[in-house]
Amino acid sequence: MQQDLTMPPDPDSGAIRFLLGGHPVVERAVDPDCTVLEYLRRRRGLCGSKEGCAEGDCGACTVVIAERAPGGVALKAVNSCIQFVPALDGKALYTVEHLAAEGKLHPVQQAMVDCHGSQCGFCTPGFVMSLWALYVAHRATGSRPPDAEVRSALAGNLCRCTGYRPILAAAQHMFELPAVAFDLAALQAALDKLARDAPLAYAYAGRHFHAPRDLPHLLALRAQYPQATLLAGGTDVGLWVNKQLRRLDHIIYLGGLEQLEAISDVDGHIRIGAGAKLEAAYAALCAHYPQLFEMWQRFASRPIRNAGTLGGNVANGSPIGDSMPALLALGAQLRLTNRARTRVLPLENFYLGYQKKDLAADEILLAIDVPLPGPHLEFRTYKVAKRYDSDISAVCAAFALELDANGTIGSARVAYGGMAATPARAPQAEAALAGRPWCEHTVRGAMRALARDYAPIADMRASSAYRMQTAQNLLYRMYLETRPDAPLTAAETSVHAN
Ligand SMILES: Cc1cc2nc3c(=O)[nH]c(=O)nc-3n(C[C@H](O)[C@H](O)[C@H](O)COP(=O)(O)OP(=O)(O)OC[C@H]3O[C@@H](n4cnc5c(N)ncnc54)[C@H](O)[C@@H]3O)c2cc1C
Ligand code: FES
Ligand code: FES
């Protein structure tokens, strides 16, 4: 790949500056909510990236975005159909057009040819870009991805023709072909040059995009423009534009603020900055709660998790969002802030009703504090959806029980998604568990109590009766996995919840 990484000096702070295939680009006349896919295809004539679903589901539009990261530069596959162009400022964008060099296919592309990984070809550029991100990451460390990692990297790419076996074969074969190096050091130097201290204040046709560079400026903007749309990873907001045809006249972008992305262990908590990407947030949570691993892998797809944030999931507050049941069960607290003060709120008090939250117009979600696990905690979380990968939950459940040495339940926190207008705890079931022995009789009582906690809706994902039965069965499943006398074996528990 030929890269010309020299960037002209920043002429003003009102232009979007990024690298496209290694070449500097300055844009001053793009709508703030123009998607990267639309920009590539219509403005740049780069039609390799395809539009399948325009909602982050199919992966036909997958591109790779590189940005500065602690310790170097990170290349990540994302869905260009739900990313906005101004969010590229300071980053590097690569598409399928940028891989072949000097008339030769890149090993990723050659492997797809050799393994017959393409038929109609519509999905192929997206697969190639997901594979390229994997290739660069593993070439940099000299490693080969295990099969599970390949599958995880490709879970967001759908193919209706080929079947996945040849594509999985290509993912291994690409490492057997003569290596093509990618100059990460040169890219990092170019991104360093591109970085600016001043915020981006971009306007076009009377519409605005602000990208503050620090928290005080972000909070000042929030106070000044309370009606503006806060944009984090855009994996919910992008759909407002594509599917609801909303125009966003004023955007405040939260990306790239170190303070918002930081993850640390503080005073017995894992503190996850609201801007931490889902991939990083789940990695940090799983280090303490390995029971969350399956949820991590089944949350959307790698490209969505590379862009979307934990704060966006919590702030969006969808009743079927996947993070909230676990966070509610674990007793997470939110740190909400404006210019004057930071307040701490238990997550269950944040949701006031369907799409109603305890968040003032001048506030943002700053961080999520998740208590570190105590020695007697039994914790489980389950997702039930129609597909294993990349699907929205019909029901999502999480249970956190403190069990003493005699098998008596000290405290119980039970929470579900998909059962009410918001993610919500189950006070009746919790009362039926607390202080009782963890036994068949107790769990059956708590299962019955769930019917008093919730009156779930019926929709295209599940009927009301299915949801209730599933919610009860998941609690019973937790019991089977953790009952003191005869817990299920590891092999038995590895059967997928759906
Ligand atoms: C294909 C696809 C699959 C998906 N699969 C799943 C899934 O399996 N499980 C699931 O739970 N979700 C899923 N989602 C939804 C989405 O990915 C998540 O909700 C994600 O966490 C949103 O984060 P974001 O950073 O992209 O938020 P954005 O889209 O940027 O913002 C979402 C909302 O939160 C607000 N917001 C963001 N950050 C803050 C903040 N710090 N303070 C205050 N308000 C803020 C925004 O203003 C907006 O209202 C999926 C989405 C897509 C497109
Ligand atoms: S077009 Fe389907 S994920 Fe973007
Ligand atoms: S080759 Fe036709 S959709 Fe994948």
Q: Considering only CA atoms, which residue is closest to atom 3 of ligand 1? A: 300
* Rounded average pLDDT over 249-265: 95
pLDDT for 12 equals 56
Identify the CA nearest to 65 among candidates 149, 145, 133.
Answer: 133
Distance CA 422, CA 425 (A): 10
pLDDT, one tens digit per residue, over 349-369 is: 999 999 899 999 999 999 999
For the chain, where do the domains classified as CATH 3.30.43.10 start and end? 200-256
First CA to last CA distance, the chain: 43
pLDDT for 494 equals 55
Distance CA 210, CA 270 (A): 30
492: Cβ–Cβ under 8 A, 6 or more apart, which residues?
A: none
Ligand nearest to the CA of 229: 1
Q: Considering only CA atoms, which residue is closest to atom 2 of ligand 3? A: 120
> Does the beta carbon of 56 lie inside 6 Å of ligand 1?
yes
Ligand nearest to the CA of 335: 1
> Does the beta carbon of 63 lie inside 6 Å of ligand 2?
no
Q: Considering only CA atoms, which residue is closest to atom 37 of ligand 1? A: 312
> Does the beta carbon of 322 lie inside 6 Å of ligand 1?
yes
Phi then psi for residue 10, to 5 deg, are: -65, 110
* Rounded average pLDDT over 44-67: 98
CATH code for 260-493?
A: 3.30.390.50
Q: Identify the bridge partners of residue 367 per DSSP, sorted by sequence position.
A: 273, 335
Residue 80 is encoded by which pair of tokens?
A: 């260009």
Distance CA 295, CA 381 (A): 7
pLDDT for 487 equals 72
Q: Identify the bridge partners of residue 74 per DSSP, sorted by sequence position.
A: 67
Q: Which of 37, 219, 235, 322, when mutated, tests ligand 1's pocket best, judged by the most ligand atoms within 8 Å of its CB?
A: 235
Q: Report the separation in Å between the CA atom of 321 and the middle of ligand 3, taken as the mean of its atom positions.
A: 30
Distance CA 269, CA 415 (A): 20
pLDDT band at 490 (very low <50, low <70, confident <90, very high): low
Alpha helices for 199-336 (secondary structure H): 215-224, 237-242, 258-261, 278-288, 293-298, 302-307, 310-316, 323-329
> Does the beta carbon of 234 lie inside 6 Å of ligand 1?
yes
Q: Which of 38, 40, 41, 55, when mutated, tests ligand 2's pocket best, judged by the most ligand atoms within 8 Å of its CB?
A: 55
Q: Does residue 205 register a pLDDT over 90?
A: yes
Q: Are 486 and 493 in contact (CB under 8 A)?
A: no
Q: Does residue 498 register a pLDDT over 50?
A: no
Residue 236 is encoded by which pair of tokens?
A: 């919910």
Q: Considering only CA atoms, which residue is closest to atom 4 of ligand 3? A: 159
Q: Report the separation in Å between the CA atom of 447 and the middle of ligand 1, taken as the mean of its atom positions.
A: 31
Distance CA 346, CA 328 (A): 8
Q: Are 158 and 391 in contact (CB under 8 A)?
A: no
pLDDT for 355 equals 87
Place of tokens 């002429």: 11
Within 6 A (CB) of ligand 3 lie: 118-124, 159-162
Q: Does residue 6 register a pLDDT over 60?
A: no
> Does the beta carbon of 274 lie inside 6 Å of ligand 1?
yes
Identify the CA nearest to 204 among candidates 12, 8, 16, 11.
Answer: 16
* Rounded average pLDDT over 24-36: 97
Give me the numbers of helices (H) and strands (E) for the chain, helices first please.
18, 20
Surface-to-core class of residue 316, CB atoms within 10 Å of its CB (0-12 exposed, 13-18 middle, 19+ buried): middle
> Does the beta carbon of 415 lie inside 6 Å of ligand 1?
no
> Does the beta carbon of 54 lie inside 6 Å of ligand 2?
yes
Percentage of the chain exceeding pLDDT 70: 96
> Does the beta carbon of 81 lie inside 6 Å of ligand 2?
yes
The rounded mean pLDDT for the chain is 94
> Does the beta carbon of 61 lie inside 6 Å of ligand 2?
yes
Distance CA 6, CA 75 (A): 19
For the chain, where do the domains classified as CATH 1.10.150.120 start and end? 107-173
* Rounded average pLDDT over 41-62: 98
Q: Report the separation in Å between the CA atom of 312 and the middle of ligand 1, taken as the mean of its atom positions.
A: 4
pLDDT, one tens digit per residue, over 319-346 is: 999 999 999 999 999 999 999 999 999 9
pLDDT, one tens digit per residue, over 113-164 is: 999 999 999 999 999 999 999 999 999 898 999 999 999 999 999 999 988 9
200-256 carries CATH number 3.30.43.10: yes
Q: Which of 51, 251, 313, when mutated, tests ligand 1's pocket best, judged by the most ligand atoms within 8 Å of its CB?
A: 313
For the chain, where do the domains classified as CATH 3.30.390.50 start and end? 260-493
* Rounded average pLDDT over 272-283: 98
pLDDT for 7 equals 45
pLDDT for 486 equals 73
pLDDT, one tens digit per residue, over 468-487 is: 999 999 999 999 999 987 77
CATH code for 107-173?
A: 1.10.150.120
Residue 222 is encoded by which pair of tokens?
A: 């929030």
Ligand nearest to the CA of 58: 2
Q: Report the separation in Å between the CA atom of 119 and the middle of ligand 2, taken as the mean of its atom positions.
A: 18
> Does the beta carbon of 363 lie inside 6 Å of ligand 1?
no
Percentage of the chain exceeding pLDDT 90: 90
What is the Cα 214 distance to its own chain's centre? 23
pLDDT band at 4 (very low <50, low <70, confident <90, very high): low
Q: Considering only CA atoms, which residue is closest to atom 48 of ligand 1? A: 316
pLDDT for 1 equals 56
Q: Report the separation in Å between the CA atom of 314 and the middle of ligand 1, taken as the mean of its atom positions.
A: 8
Identify the CA nearest to 362 among candidates 389, 343, 385.
Answer: 343
Q: Are 87 and 67 in contact (CB under 8 A)?
A: no
Distance CA 308, CA 62 (A): 15
Q: Does residue 70 register a pLDDT over 80?
A: yes
pLDDT for 493 equals 62
